[in-house]
Structure 1
């Protein structure tokens, strides 16, 4: 994460100035073997122009020789002796109703809760590698069938529900995988945590052993046990659910994160307080309020007047933020990738009266025949190709993203572009798009519903509106909608949304994880299923050898996205977060999905 002063507007790669000098303590302990103990302490203080560095070297001589290097406390760390004070105010574009229990919670609640109140078994560090959180360690047998999670001792649950135990872990994940759960990965969580051919056991109060029915790739399993993200799995109190019932618990859930729920008001705010018994980091601020402010101009005004400390910002407001005295911009690297989901491509079970979803083979982009060698399929494929090359991705990046991103032809490959074949292209060509539509039998175009998934990702709404206009230029009649994601999601899960969506997702831990959304059994989906996908995706995800799995992943996307154009990418997005004059820039806690900021517990006042 790079902190960058406004005057340069993120045009340089190294941070300079903009914040007060902060002492950094580096402590090194060296222990050598001799007969008696002598303690020698040496303190050296060096001053530089922008930062004070305090180096403290302690040498202890005792009976064993080891070297211990203390981990420096990140800038913004709070001393355990300090009491939280003051209030943080964050402007969000969408929150929705607070309903949070693993058996019924969906997005955006899952994602937003994970950035504040919730925690998972693991988090992912800056290198996108799994690191301990509620599980202080874990092990996986060589055959990947037996997983052992060692739960961190001393973790306290909110609302006075006592210490976290293995029973809370098992309860939470089995609820996430319940029959009626709407988590995006619920069917896969069920396979791992509730599979009747496997077993789950608390061997003691702080150890969970899962014996799965089939081998699991660690990345795929840990994706739904992680902290922060739309597919995260936060842990709740089993006792609270049993005492109060799911409905009541879902409105005041006891979790383990650094922030504890106080009050919510739908359409207005979620208010939290610092959890003073947090196992890792007690926030410096006493209260945190997330405000739901759909209009960007209103969020900007709140920041300009000092009512908001940070907010979800579009790139075209960078120049306005730089005018706020004392404000900073925090560049956080690649945060997201956006794609176009073209719904209604339900090619499994055509003609079956029990087929799930709304299948209509008369839609221009949908084939009435699942046979990829049929005339119907060929024409629908031409339409989808026309739709993708009618989008000027570079203009979207240059204008709406202010250059903070790059075009992306194949969704799920953001951050992995170096592995993409050279022929995965989608050059903007509106004239050819018109020709393809005419060849497919639509010389005068066709009508399609298009909506953005309003969830707070920068430029998501504006880009979707621009794409609608671009499609209009080639003769496609676009009926544009702006639907909050909490309202839209049930139609996506039920496979009844009739058109397309602009949908930003996280940077994948591995591109293969995106294939989950093309499986017929998936709860969340892209409205695109085909017998070929059902037959072959399992072989990709079941491949335990990394190089072979990547090769199979490339082959699958080459068929699905490059050849058949069943869905397509739009662009990647780099994150820029406004930092108000009352607070310091801060370090994130988790890095697996940073479309929304996290690590608010690390924020300290200036």
Structure 2
């Protein structure tokens, strides 16, 4: 969805936004070579994963290579965001919501020959929730009290308290089932039950997969024999690779300012879909002056989100008023809360004791949207007397060390990719250093009920608390800018969960 800017904004800001958006849009030429073999695919990604085991590290690029390709879960999430059976063919939930009984698929083997059964599933879940676990979503397994394996094809989870989102969480990449023999080495040589096997990883360049000839799910017809993930960070290089045919698809193209250059290309399709990528400028709520809600509200009021979308992502994006996307159940449009109002922002700053503004630093990862957004924000903050210095910060290593783990920052900006992750504001610790018992109570009520209508109402309450309290500046949802060969079919147009699912991908003859 392309966002339209409002009119009547300061020409200085509009000019800055347009200047940032119009970078390097020169015509890219090159003959399109003959298609690769109809059973091979080269798929481009901007960020190379730090490892290949999604159950031990958080970066979404890991799952974008491995989830549903190499690794599978008890359940999965389909292209519409719905939970579907996978290694568990069915399940029953007790009336009190405390017992989940899964019936498992028979005849499933890992790529190394290990047989999948209830004991393997139990070992995988115990690894994810254990005391030494480094699973990025370890907290989602905290509700599990005991894991039973009465027979090889039955798995029973007994919970300490109802967890209304448990099935959904079990579909995430971090909940992938790993083998008992191979788990320790999955970071570099992943072994799963999925439709593709790992072949090789040339760091800095590519990961290669091959179709699994012994794939257990006979209902799935895999039509690709070989898949190569190519890692190309530079947007101009991405565009050139697409134009030349060196890459068949970029499901998440990294240069929105170049998208228009593909729209008249006879061989390439431009597909704009939805994502869960919420671009937010997080503040350190434990550090002055961000510990004062009036200051946070003032900074939010200083921002015209539509101008941010223009400057950061060439007009592609949807402004948001809370940590929630229009795709998510229970979404409430809260962009009118603490809406753009520089004069009111100045008054709030004066009331908070900063009539002459203040100075702070924002740490920006190198992804294009971050420095671009920061430059537009810098000009907007200057209009209310606030000086923001921009400090580039290498991502992920330096950013994770300084911001995410060390909370040594004033403000940062990053796209949060996990779906329905509004609960991050209740985590303690978390890099926002935000604490609000009322917000935590609402989230607890969501998990305590299985009534979806009640859950949606409560999600609305949670969104309203964040929009009013502003622990982070809510900017926009990034679209999925997909560009791929027109003969390539089956890639996901939308992204309910960060992924590159290849199961249904094929070349049209």
| TM-score, normalising length: structure 2 | 0.81
SS of the aligned residue for 1:340 comes to strand
C-alpha separation in 2, matches of 1:95 and 1:569 = 27
1:285-304 correspondence to structure 2 within 5 Å: 285-304=224-243
The residue aligned with 2:202 is: 265
SS of the aligned residue for 1:484 comes to coil
1:306-317 correspondence to structure 2 within 5 Å: 306-311=245-250, 312-313=252-253, 314-317=255-258
From 209, 214, 217, the equivalent of 1:277 is: 214
From 90, 93, 99, the equivalent of 1:140 is: 93
Q: How many pairs were matched up?
A: 466
1:20-169 correspondence to structure 2 within 5 Å: 87-100=40-53, 102=55, 104-112=56-64, 113-114=66-67, 116-158=69-111, 160-169=112-121
From 489, 493, 502, the equivalent of 1:585 is: 489
Which deviates more from structure 2 when the two are superposed, residues 526-535 or residues 289-298?
A: 526-535
| Cα drift, residue 212 of structure 1 | 0.9
More contact order relative to length (CA 8 Å, sep ≥ 6): 2
Q: Is the 8 A contact 2:275 2:496 kept in 1?
A: no
Structure 1: runs of 5+ lacking an equivalent: 1-83, 193-197, 347-360, 367-379
| TM-score, normalising length: structure 1 | 0.69
Q: Deviations over 1:511-538 (max 9, x none)?
A: xx4342123446x654423444445532
Q: Deviations over 1:531-580 (max 9, x none)?
A: 44445532343233333333333334333x13322224222333231112
1:438-457 correspondence to structure 2 within 5 Å: 438-442=350-354, 443-452=356-365, 454=367
Q: Is the 8 A contact 2:51 2:188 kept in 1?
A: yes
For the pair shown, the structure with the greater C-alpha radius of gyration is 1
Q: Is the 8 A contact 1:341 1:503 kept in 2?
A: yes
| Cα drift, residue 126 of structure 1 | 4.6
SS of the aligned residue for 1:253 comes to coil
Q: Does 1:322 align with 2:226?
A: no
| Cα drift, residue 149 of structure 1 | 1.3
SS of the aligned residue for 2:228 comes to strand
SS of the aligned residue for 1:317 comes to helix
The CA RMSD measured in Å over matched residues stands at 3.1
Structure 2: runs of 5+ lacking an equivalent: 1-36
Higher strand content, 1 or 2? 1
Q: Is the 8 A contact 2:320 2:474 kept in 1?
A: yes
1:354-433 correspondence to structure 2 within 5 Å: 361=287, 363-366=288-291, 380-398=292-310, 400-415=312-327, 420=332, 424-433=336-345
SS of the aligned residue for 2:148 comes to strand
C-alpha separation in 2, matches of 1:154 and 1:296 = 44
The residue aligned with 1:234 is: 176
C-alpha separation in 1, matches of 2:447 and 2:226 = 43
Q: Is the 8 A contact 2:338 2:467 kept in 1?
A: no
C-alpha separation in 2, matches of 1:461 and 1:598 = 30
Q: Is the 8 A contact 2:271 2:493 kept in 1?
A: no
| Cα drift, residue 226 of structure 1 | 0.7
| Cα drift, residue 146 of structure 1 | 0.6
Q: Deviations over 1:334-370 (max 9, x none)?
A: 2224242424325xxxxxxxxxxxxxx4x3212xxxx
C-alpha separation in 2, matches of 1:526 and 1:387 = 16
Q: Is the 8 A contact 2:70 2:190 kept in 1?
A: no
